[in-house]
A and B are shown apart, each in its own frame.
Chain A
Amino acid sequence: GAGVSQTPSNKVTEKGKYVELRCDPISGHTALYWYRQSLGQGPEFLIYFQGTGAADDSGLPNDRFFAVRPEGSVSTLKIQRTERGDSAVYLCASSRDGSSYNEQFFGPGTRLTVL
């Protein structure tokens, strides 16, 4: 497809479990972003990749959160020992090169529910 895709669309897990969320950016986009959106709020930045490297992970809330992008395309957001407060919609976005003049294209998100 031409857009950003995310899998799964919904994930329900139990407190303490490990989850992985996947993002497929638009082909050729070197910049990839993860955001988290809680109910009734705007998205909040988590981490930014330029190519394979995490250029800015300042938005990750704690060390239970980790993300990788080993080949500069698909990215996986990993959450260890999930907590109920992690429940949110996790959004991925990509842009052509991270330039200030490039639009970020968002995926449909993964709704994570931690019971």
Chain B
Amino acid sequence: SQQGEEDPQALSIQEGENATMNCSYKTSINNLQWYRQNSGRGLVHLILIRSNEREKHSGRLRVTLDTSKKSSSLLITASRAADTASYFCATDDSISNFGNEKLTFGTGTRLTIIP
């Protein structure tokens, strides 16, 4: 099963509204990352939050991490049509800080912004 699982699987909102996506995972992690993917191709890195951080901001993005609940959320404020994409959380659960930091991805949330 996937380490990270996002919900909802699909989300449609009006342009200008805020979009919130959640991610749950199972094992201890070093960090959690959020990626955006358009049209099923390359992934664009959005934000990385370390296991000792609780909240991080980047422009219109806000990410929270609750390691006690093994969950994270991604908030996109003032959504735009260009935000339409699939969003994935990915966890790095390696026990070392240097080595194979392979990522384990969830199944993603498909976000549609209605103009």
Which A residues form the contact surface with B (CB < 8 A)? Answer: 31, 33, 35, 37, 39-45, 48, 50, 55-56, 59, 89, 91, 93, 95, 97-109, 111
A-B contact pairs, 27 of them (CB 8 A): A31-B101, A33-B102, A33-B103, A40-B107, A42-B4, A42-B88, A42-B105, A43-B88, A43-B105, A45-B103, A50-B100, A89-B41, A91-B43, A98-B100, A100-B30, A100-B31, A100-B94, A100-B96, A101-B50, A102-B101, A104-B103, A106-B35, A106-B42, A106-B43, A107-B42, A109-B41, A109-B42
A46 to chain B, nearest CB (A): 9
The chain B residue sitting closest to A109, CB to CB, is: B41
The reply to whether the CB of B84 lies closer than 8 angstroms to some CB of chain A is no
Q: Hey, which chain A residues are within 8 Å of B31, CB to CB? A: 100-101
Interface residues on B, range: 20 to 34
The chain B residue sitting closest to A104, CB to CB, is: B103
The chain A residue sitting closest to B9, CB to CB, is: A40
Which B residues form the contact surface with A (CB < 8 A)? Answer: 2, 4, 30-31, 33, 35, 40-45, 48, 50, 88, 90, 92, 94, 96-108
Q: Is the CB of A98 within 8 A of B101?
A: yes
The chain B residue sitting closest to A33, CB to CB, is: B102
Partner of A55, one of B50, B100, B107: B100
A31 and B99 CA atoms in complex are apart in Å by: 9
A41 and B108 CA atoms in complex are apart in Å by: 7
A29 to chain B, nearest CB (A): 13
Q: Is the CB of A42 within 8 A of B2?
A: yes
Partner of B107, one of A42, A89, A95, A106: A42
